[in-house]
Amino acid sequence: MSALEIFSPAKLNLFLAVTGRRADGFHELVSVVAPVMWGDTLTVVVRVENRRPRAGRREVGGKGRSPREEFSLECDDPAVPRDGTNLVLRAAELFRAATGWDRGARFVLTKRIPMGAGLGGGSSNGAMALRALNRLAGELLAPAALADLAGRLGSDCALFLHSGPVVMRGRGERVEPLPESGAARLRGRRVLIFKPSFGVATPWAYGRLAESAPGSYLPAPEAEARLVAWLADGDAVAEKLLFNNMESVAFAKFIALPALLERLHERFGVTARMSGSGSACFALLNADSPVAEITAAIREAWGASALVVGAQLQ
């Protein structure tokens, strides 16, 4: 196999409790995250003819190809960086360093997940690049090793190697499946994802959260207690899980976010929250939710350029 097309899903933070800041500058969190059945598409084509010279061999002129020459990225969104800052290319370099795989690859990314949305688009792309390369290379890494590599790539990357709702801890690198008692209440649930024309920079959001500490953090024992209580109550609906203490930071600056969420709740009775550090939000839908009317209300508030897409939780 020399080529592979892989789906790269977006994610939603259904429960996000940032519990404190670590000495290394990262934040600790407890979060329930679900990938959704909507996202990007990543195609990977192995460059069989551009193999790096093996030890003891030299190319004409005495120079081997650099890794960056052997890995390239194309994307239909001109705003997406195509250099070494992109997590797809960083994932490729990490994979090579971990396995010694000596072939290059061309990545073609069809982008749907917007940047600055809190939907994990870049992290998903990086994780799927790792998964695709591992498959194309003949499964050189076992699942645990691949997950470890994803955790080194980025805080949100490892979660995308799971196919359903997970609980993230630490800075996001510690991931485990959500117990089935909770996952069954989430899996397949219809959601409406919507994002205004502006984004929210994640470093800014976490920086502002740290500035307003300690009152902005939710203590870890309280976060864990909330999650345990929801899991233990078999009758608790998904809406009772929803929480995000990063909303206080984003809502204080971008008042269009809370204004719309309050309006949707008042007019349609839907429970809506922000995902991650924003600016994308989501609403859990019921069978009788008036999706067309909700969509119209979102576009009325945020304009025709707002992203509005329906999806299901994986």
pLDDT in tens, 219-263: 999 999 999 999 999 889 999 999 999 999 999 999 999 999 999
Give pLDDT, residue 63.
46
Distance CA 164, CA 35 (A): 6
Residue 17 reports pLDDT greater than 90 = yes
18 and 162 in a single domain? The answer is yes
Residue 288 reports pLDDT greater than 60 = yes
Question: Span 132-157, mean pLDDT?
Answer: 95
Give pLDDT, residue 213.
76
**282 bridge partner residues:** 193, 273
Distance CA 55, CA 44 (A): 26
98 and 214 in a single domain? The answer is no
User: 81 — phi, psi (to 5°)?
Assistant: -65, 145
Distance CA 225, CA 242 (A): 14
Give pLDDT, residue 244.
97
Residues 18, 183, 175, 157: what is their CA dihedral angle, to the nearest 10 degrees?
-80
21 and 98 in a single domain? The answer is yes
Q: What's the CATH number where 191 sits?
A: 3.30.70.890
Q: How confident is the model at residue 25 (pLDDT cuts 50, 70, 90)?
A: confident
159 and 306 in a single domain? The answer is no
* Distance, C-alpha 134 to centroid of its chain: 20
Catalytically annotated residue among 11, 40, 111, 195: 11
Share of the chain above pLDDT 90, in %: 85
Give pLDDT, residue 206.
92
Give pLDDT, residue 53.
47
Give pLDDT, residue 56.
42
100 and 124 in a single domain? The answer is yes
CB contact burial 275-306 (16+ within 10 A = b; e otherwise): bbbbbbbbbbbeeebebeebbebbeeebeeeb
Domain boundary among 177, 203, 237: 177
For residue 11, indicate whether it is catalytic.
Answer: yes
19 and 132 in a single domain? The answer is yes
Distance CA 249, CA 200 (A): 10
Place of tokens 């940047």: 115
161 and 200 in a single domain? The answer is no
- 64-91 pLDDT, tens per residue? 444 444 899 999 999 999 999 999 999 9
Number of domains in the chain: 2
For residue 249, the enclosing domain spans 184-312
159 and 223 in a single domain? The answer is no
Which residue stretches of 19-120 are H helix?
67-70, 87-99
Question: Span 123-131, mean pLDDT?
Answer: 98
Give pLDDT, residue 69.
47
Give pLDDT, residue 212.
85
Question: Span 132-137, mean pLDDT?
Answer: 97
Q: One-letter amino acid identity for 280?
A: A
- Mean pLDDT of the residues in the chain: 92
212 and 160 in a single domain? The answer is no
Domain boundary among 129, 149, 177: 177
126 and 254 in a single domain? The answer is no
Q: How confident is the model at residue 49 (pLDDT cuts 50, 70, 90)?
A: low
Residue 41 reports pLDDT greater than 90 = yes
153 and 251 in a single domain? The answer is no
Question: Span 94-110, mean pLDDT?
Answer: 95
Residue 142 reports pLDDT greater than 50 = yes
Domain boundary among 135, 155, 177: 177
Catalytically annotated residue among 24, 63, 83, 156: 156
For residue 24, indicate whether it is catalytic.
Answer: no
202 and 248 in a single domain? The answer is yes
Q: What's the CATH number where 116 sits?
A: 3.30.230.10
Q: How confident is the model at residue 60 (pLDDT cuts 50, 70, 90)?
A: very low
